[in-house]
Homo-oligomer: A and B are copies of this chain.
């Protein structure tokens, strides 16, 4: 909080960014940075989903990773888990209010990603060409 506080007052191009070090940014990074959370949240944004359903909707995710991802989301209060005592068992997952607020964040991510994808791809090709 005291050390390393950074304040960038938006001049010509940049916005105001403050205290990016240990103000919980790492927490969000851990979540958005992992391999599956974003995809799972996107699918849950559409509504209530069952476990198997999510596994179908998110291609390539393993059972193990879906479980781990959902558990972490549940632990952070971003997802609710409802178990029905049926045979076979049925479990439903749903975004909480906080979880839904994260979809705005993800939308920003997706938008920026789509917008700059071609430019970045080209920059990458140019760079790799110069460095054999």
Residues of A bordering B, CB below 8 Å:
3-4, 6, 8, 13-21, 23-25, 27-30, 32-34, 38-39, 42-43, 45-46, 57, 59, 74-78, 95, 97-98, 100-110, 112-114, 116-117, 119-124, 126-128
Contacts and interface: CB of A to CB of B under 8 A. Distances in A.
A112 B105 contact: yes
B24 A120 contact: yes
B21 A59 contact: yes
Given A6-B46, A28-B113, A77-B123, A106 B23 contact: no
A27 to B, nearest CB: 7
Contact of A124 (B38, B39, B76, B120): B76
